[in-house]
Structure 1
Amino acid sequence: MSDVVKGPMLGGMTRRELHVVPVPGPGAEDVLIGHDGTAYTGCGDGAIYAVRADGGEPWRVGATGGRPLGLEWLPEGRILICDAHRGLLDMALDSGEVRVLADRVDGIPMRFCNNAAVSDDGTIWFTDSSTKWGIEEWKSDLIDDTCTGRLLKLLPGGQPEVVLDGLSFANGVALASDQSCVVVAETGHRRLRRYYRTGPLAGNADVFAADLPAHPDNIAGGSDGLIWVTYASPADATLARLQKSPKAIRTVVRRLPERLKPTPQRTVRVAAYDDLGQVVHDVETDATHWHMATGVREHDGRVWLGSLVEPALAWFDLA
């Protein structure tokens, strides 16, 4: 059964009612919507679950044996899975069969496969958040500011190719509505980068949106043609200072007990951008019963959210 959380108007942003839908596994990090409205998510127990918005009983589709994060649809109807431990996978809906599409780049295992988008020609665009730290040490990568994140592409039948590197915790990936460019979130530096696929700037990159009010996580193209962005936590001044501190100081902080490290604030906030990088929607809700939105999917006016820390999905209606 879903719970409705009514949030106050916060900072002049749009007010929405948040509906919370429990999931059998921990940390329902991303969300994907099927043609019939069914929501799919991957959890910390390695399982992929299907969830009905009407409150019907969720069911287990299959398991990756790792830590599934970003989810997308492949042209043949299989679910593409970015698994932080196992790499780029896909799964059959009917049997739960899992195949490994890519787990190495130039012969070196990926450390933190995170999020993806699939273009109409079957090319998979995906991120490897860090070449130094894995998902269990995601805070360490942000503190160290390793800038080893990458945007990669995988052509059908090909091998992964790096198209952008030097990214500060590469995270969410989305295609523009005309698929002329790919947008990738840099969580550590609070910005969105754009890589041009076609046109006179093809092969080049620039900044799509900078100085965001919060740290972006997963992003996704919506059925409304907009690029939806989750804000996992507001801008953290302490983290920003640490990233500019001498390496010795960052090393000391990284080794501190978890409770003493910078921690995401308890919020729920998402925004939607048009292809020019202009904000169209900015929505914040009460975070008392559900927080830390890390996955987002707009589908026919309903916005679904996933969370790295919550055993539940959530949604709100735009209308």
Structure 2
Amino acid sequence: MDRPTALVPLHYVSLGGHGPEDVAVDAHGRVLTGVADGRILRVHHLGDPRTARVEVLAETGGRPLGLEPLPDGGLLVCDAERGLLRVDPDPGSGSGSGTGTGTGRTVRVLADSVAGEPLRFCSNAVALPDGTVYVTVSSRRYPLDQWIGDIVEHTGTGRLLRVPPEGGEPEVLLGGLQFANGLAVGADGSFLVIAETGACRLTRYHLTGPRAGHADLFATLPGMPDNLWREGPGGPLWVALPSPRVPPLELLHRASPAVRGAAARAAVHAPYRPSGTIGVMALDDAGRTVAHLTRRRSGFRMVTSVCATGDHLVLGSLWEPGVAVCARPAAR
């Protein structure tokens, strides 16, 4: 792996809300994100902090995490409290459970249970051209506000789900994942890439070919991966690294379940402050590093997502009250 280069922040844009955990780009280059109070926001003109403007698209009534813009202008939303949602592109379109307040857009619940239990801690989703939706669930034991408990206990209760095009009960495709998080589709549509935050790796799940239905290693990373974002059909796969590897934590993961459980119970009640080291990476479809950018002693902490628009990289964070706009690296 090449030596990392500097992740250079240019400016910050406040959103009037806390914790823009995921950032994505719509068809017009505008950045979409969700914040802790349940609002889905669209940010215009991020390249200039003097003209940046924040628009409310919808309110989920829960806690939005991963976002997936759809070709028809709709938006898939993974809500940690309500499950898999869809925000309709036009006011009054569609039907279903709940509406976004104050925006006129309809928020529909697509799935809120799986295998007889509530669909909680729904983290990321991607949609295929045939309408099939794949979803990650980070933990079956810990809610979002206790996420660190799952990382410490190393529960391996993360899942990959499939929601058929016609809707209905999600199917569990893969279990035993270490805090399943970001999700992306291979450029040729033959596989998915899943970020396993608790294992510092990316896992590949084959959709087609002789290994269809099986998983293998896509890449081992120098930190804990969070959200994934693919830049266009043939572009690189961007990975947010909110934290570098933590050797004492990796040592704890080799301890007995009882020891890990006790440590997790202590961790969820202890004050948490994120690392000052942040990073992002771009990989090709063979898992090779295309770009690796880091910053130590960063004032903008816990970078949980990254996307690119124009000449900029935009960083989201579960911790911060806004997004960071950084210089995009030169093409290699």
In the superposition, the TM-score normalised over structure 2's length comes to 0.87
Which residue in the other structure is 1:143 paired with? 152
- CA 1:14–1:259: 2 relative to 1, 3 Å: farther
Which residue in the other structure is 1:14 paired with? 5
Deviation for aligned residue 1:264 = 3.6
Distance 1:77 1:216 in 2: 28
* Range with bigger deviation, 260-269 or 97-106: 260-269
Q: Which runs of 5+ in 1 are unaligned?
A: 1-10
Percent identity reads: 43
2:260 aligns with one of 235, 238, 250: 250
Distance 2:137 2:175 in 1: 10
Kindly indicate whether the alpha-carbon contact (under 8 Å) linking 1:180 and 1:196 is maintained by their aligned counterparts in 2. yes
Q: Does 1:166 align with 2:176?
A: yes
Q: State the number of aligned residues.
A: 308
Deviation for aligned residue 1:204 = 1.6
Kindly indicate whether the alpha-carbon contact (under 8 Å) linking 2:17 and 2:321 is maintained by their aligned counterparts in 1. yes
1:86 aligns with one of 72, 82, 86: 82
- CA 1:12–1:69: 2 relative to 1, 3 Å: same
1:30-179 equivalent positions in 2, closer than 5 A: 30-52=22-44, 53=46, 54-55=48-49, 56-94=52-90, 95-158=104-167, 159-179=169-189
Distance 1:93 1:57 in 2: 20
The 3-state SS of whatever aligns with 2:159 is strand
Q: Which runs of 5+ in 2 are unaligned?
A: 91-103
1:23 aligns with one of 10, 15, 19: 15
The 3-state SS of whatever aligns with 1:238 is helix
The 3-state SS of whatever aligns with 1:131 is coil
Where do 4+ consecutive residues of structure 1 move more than 3 Å? Answer: 257-264, 285-288, 299-302
The 3-state SS of whatever aligns with 2:17 is coil
Distance 1:178 1:85 in 2: 33
Distance 1:283 1:93 in 2: 35
Kindly indicate whether the alpha-carbon contact (under 8 Å) linking 1:30 and 1:69 is maintained by their aligned counterparts in 2. yes
Deviation for aligned residue 1:290 = 1.2
Distance 1:276 1:87 in 2: 32
The 3-state SS of whatever aligns with 1:49 is strand
- For residues 181-229 of structure 1, the C-alpha deviation after alignment (integer angstroms, 9 at most, x for no partner) is 000011111111101111222222111012x210001112112521111
Q: Does 1:279 align with 2:289?
A: yes
Which residue in the other structure is 1:3 paired with? none
- CA 1:288–1:204: 2 relative to 1, 3 Å: closer
Q: Does 1:182 align with 2:173?
A: no
Distance 2:129 2:296 in 1: 37
Deviation for aligned residue 1:35 = 2.1
Deviation for aligned residue 1:300 = 4.9
Deviation for aligned residue 1:260 = 4.7
- CA 1:188–1:114: 2 relative to 1, 3 Å: same
Q: Does 1:220 align with 2:233?
A: no
RMSD over aligned CA atoms reads 2.0
Distance 1:300 1:13 in 2: 22
The letter of the residue matching 1:160 is: P
Deviation for aligned residue 1:315 = 2.6
